[in-house]
Structure 1
Amino acid sequence: MVSVRGSIVPGLALLVGLGLGARLFAAIVPLNHLLLAILLGLAVGNLVGVPETVRAGVGTHKLWLKTGIVLTGASVALDRVVAAGPKLLVLVAGALTATVLLVEALSRLAFRIDGETGSLLAAGSGVCGVSAVVAVAESIDADETTVAYAATTILLFDAVTLVAYPAVGTALALPDRTFGIWAGLTMFSTGPVTAAGFAVSETAGEWAVLVKLVRNAAIGLVAVAYAGVYASTSGESAGGDRGTVARLWTPFPKFVVGFLAVVAIANLGLLSGAEIDSLANAADWLFLLAFAGLGLEIRLDDLRETGYRPVLVVLVALLAVSSVGLAVVRTVF
């Protein structure tokens, strides 16, 4: 018999309740239901707290996010992706490289932040948020305090960009595809990118997820590159006890494989229009659960404790890369 403490049922019930609440509020408040789910979760988490009995269930929000992303693959029109493919790959490579190098340069030269912290901020900003921070921290054996410092900074910007990007997109009247590509290129973590994209429109959400997953796929390469750089500067072997393939696969986001499989199945004509619509609806509900959980895990007290130098580094880099990135996306697409 599963104990209440170890059961996911209470926490899952809380996520469902917040998701339904967001749906109801969306009929009254002029905000997207996914953004409302995050705001409701944030309010509950910071005003009431998250009791131990619901933590296991709330922790499943990452699973619902990944599953929802996999299901959105059914709505991706492969012909449009293939047509934009080379340009997208160049944009992703350029944005990722520019962000990592700019954050590293600002950290070391302008703000005098220690090397490990700067590298974790660069990985988190350039690749895929906290997941990249953790992956690179493992590859360079960073201490836990440094990891927490960098992760908190990234989470702060996840919270800010989640609101700022849709606001900017609306103010500039950006086309849905343009907004989705821009958000996927320059925002940090997968959850906020997905929320911001679908808050604008389904099309914007699909493009945001697609571009973000391309960025996420680079996490293994970035982790290996950092391992090599730090090993060479310390005089150690870059291989360690694991081969290069293992170093690439371990941090790789496995749900990307599922997303690509669903894209292939849908575009081979193996799903009917009604089935694709059902999968899209299921993904929307899964995102509700995921974003409610994301809101519950945002701690405003932790964000307030972040030092100003990491925040300034990431802010300057984000403003530069997002501004240039938006100009390039509007020109190319």
Structure 2
Amino acid sequence: MSTVVATKPKTRFALTEDWTVVVLGLLSISLALSGLIIPAPKFDWASTDDLFTSVFTSKNGLLIVEQFLFTYVLALLGTWLRGDGSGTNSVRATLLGFPVIFALTLLALLLSGNKTLKGLNLEAVIFSLSIGLAVGNLFRLPDWLRGALSTELFVKIGLVLLGTTVIFGDILKAGSLGLIQALAVVVSVWYFAYWISKRLKVDDELTMMLASAVSICGVSAAIATSGAIQGDGKKLSYVISLVLITAIPMMLFMPYAANALGLSPAITGAWLGGTIDTTGAVVASGTLAGEEALKISTIVKFSQNVLLGVAAFAISVYWTYTKNQSETVKTSKPTLGVIWERFPKFILGFLAASLLFSFVISPETVNVVKGSLKSLQGLWFALAFTSIGLETRFADLFNADNRRPLYAFLIAQTFNIFITLGIAYLLFR
């Protein structure tokens, strides 16, 4: 009687998620630079008539379809490259589920394009998260849709593309004072937010995201930090919600507070730009304070945005080092090989894109492709937050354990307001 010997099936070459993201992000940039530019669709509207004259047109519809096909192909390619054919994120699940995620995200982009809602500084990601939460909590998601929720893939592709907007030359033109303030604010506020979070016994992941969001640049910093430490998407959505909710009253009241304090336009602008966490809210608040205040606030905010790459790199090195220490013998130190293995490789894609657009690509070429890449970056972020919402339960977002991070965020933001005012006064008086 012959014996049948079971042979182990061959596994094909597959990339890790981070290397997959680097490949897809740089591929998107390379295609744009080679001439394959996906124009950004229009989503701005003020009335029902605007919807049919500017958004729901054949030309704009074609642009939306082009973006859908481009991101659809990349999502499928990303699933295949990771070798997830038999896992939770199978190619079949992506093939069926991604169009649904895109359709929900498209609805979010339409809502965020409304003039009234835009005036409240409600960004697309908050609509994506809200729609995802509503659908995910009202309906039972089929397995094929759950299998398509590649949140980390979507977020990190967006982060690599974010690197194309961080142009170091612009910061040098903006002036040294803005950079000095940005460094002083980021370091002092980040450390204070970290300290107060630890005192309130907030967990490590939330602490890192919260400190970065308060001190650097709000939504983008929280997303970058979550990617660097491979954080929980539910915790990220909670921090993003705090950032967006607190930005609205700060945007409205801080210009009036500056006027009541008798601050000069320059000090007012530096205060607004260094304190308010989202770029859109900074612009809106600076507009209320006047032309000079708007200019200074934008310079300071952009200075903080440029520090995002450096901060994400430092956080990722710190996290890989300390995480290794917590998982092994406390007295042993991780080797460079271990740190490299744990280091989030998408950071390299972000830095490569930033250096490429800062020092290699001509300003003329940057102007040609930046609109398309910026639109794709925002789309990937919105897709990620739709996915986070779909896989998150309301009970997870609003339980009693979230009170401590809320208190930590509010205390850190209060500290941010006062320390930034002092630094702005010293530098811009």
| TM-score interval (norm. to shorter) | 0.5 to 0.7
One-letter code of the match for 1:43?
A: A
Identity %: 15
- 1:67-106 correspondence to structure 2 within 5 Å: 67-73=160-166, 77-80=170-173, 83=176, 84-104=178-198, 106=199
| Match of residue 97 from structure 2 | 11
Secondary structure at 1:161 match in 2: helix
1:21-40, Cα deviation, whole Å (9 max, x unpaired): 12333455722461433332
Q: Does structure 2 conserve the Cα–Cα contact (< 8 Å) formed by 1:15 and 1:289?
A: yes
- Give the SS at the match of 1:218: helix
Aligned residue in 2 for 1:52: 143
Q: Give the C-alpha shift of residue 62 in structure 1.
A: 1.5
- Counterpart residue type for residue 254 of structure 2: L
Instruction: Give the residue type in structure 2 aligned to 1:42.
Output: L
Distance 2:315 2:302 in 1: 21
What letter matches 1:61 in structure 2?
Answer: F
Distance in structure 2 (CA, Å) of the matches to 1:78 and 1:312? 33
- Counterpart of 1:172 in structure 2: which amino acid? M
Once residues 283 and 293 of structure 1 are traced to their aligned partners in structure 2, the CA distance between those partners, rounded to angstroms, is: 16
Whether 1:31 and 2:117 are equivalent positions in the alignment is: yes
Q: Paired residue for 2:318?
A: 222
Which of the numbers 248, 251, 257 marks the counterpart of 1:166?
248
Q: Secondary structure at the match of 1:307?
A: helix
When residues 272 and 211 of structure 1 are mapped into structure 2, their CA distance, relative to the original with a 3 A threshold, is closer
1:239 is displaced (CA, Å) by 0.8
Are residues 247 and 78 of structure 1, via their aligned partners in 2, closer, same or farther at CA, if it must alter by over 3 Å?
Answer: same
| Residues 232-283 of structure 1: per-residue CA shift (max 9 Å, x gap) | xx9832414x238826971573343134224414775361533333333333
Counterpart CA distance in 2 for 1:50 and 1:125 is 30
Deviation track 1:92-131 (CA, whole Å, cap 9, x = no partner) reads: 2222222222333x23xxxxx4xxx655554343246588
Aligned partner of 2:377 in structure 1 is 283
Which residue matches 2:66?
none
1:110 aligned residue: none
Match of 1:125 among 210, 233, 250: 210
2:154 aligns with 61
Contact 1:228 1:238 in 2 (8 A): no
Return the alpha-carbon distance in structure 1 between the equivalents of residues 271 and 193 of structure 2.
20
Cα displacement string for residues 24-81 of structure 1 (whole angstroms, at most 9, x for unaligned residues): 3345572246143333223222323543212343314323432441343369824346
Cα deviation, residue 5, structure 1: 6.6
Q: Which of residues 302, 314, 328 is equivalent to 2:396?
A: 302
Aligned partner of 2:162: which letter?
Answer: I
Query: Which residue of 2 is the match for residue 142 of structure 1?
Result: none
- The higher relative CO (CA closer than 8 Å, separation ≥ 6) is in 1
Residues of 2 paired with 1:157 and 1:98: CA distance? 17
Moved more, 257-266 or 169-178: 169-178
Q: Aligned to 2:117, what secondary structure does the other structure show?
A: coil
Following superposition, the deviation at residue 17 of structure 1 comes to 1.0
Equivalent residues of 1:95, 1:126 under 8 A apart? yes
Q: Conserved in 2, the CA contact under 8 Å of 1:26 and 1:36?
A: yes
Aligned residues: 299
- Alpha-carbon distance in structure 2 between the residues aligned to 1:76 and 1:300: 44
Aligned partner of 2:343 among 250, 258, 274:
250
Relative to structure 1, is the Cα distance of residues 290 and 197 closer, same or farther in structure 2, using a 3 angstrom cutoff? farther
Q: Which whole-Å CA distance do the structure 2 matches of 1:178 and 1:25 have between them? A: 31
Q: How far did 1:300 drift?
A: 1.7
Give the structure-1-normalised TM-score.
0.67
SS of the aligned residue for 1:31 comes to: helix
List gaps (5 residues or longer) in structure 2.
Answer: 1-79, 213-220, 257-267, 285-297
**Higher-Rg member (1/2):** 2
Shift of 1:165: 1.4
Distance 1:235 1:286, change over 3 A: closer
SS at match of 1:57: coil
Deviations along 1:2-22, one digit per CA (max 9) or x if unpaired, are 689713233321232123212
Would the alpha carbon gap of residues 10 and 86 (structure 1) be closer, same or farther in structure 2, given more than 3 Å must change?
Answer: farther
Q: Residues of 1 paired with 2:179 and 2:353: CA distance? A: 16
Q: How far is the alpha carbon of 1:303 from its aligned partner? A: 1.9
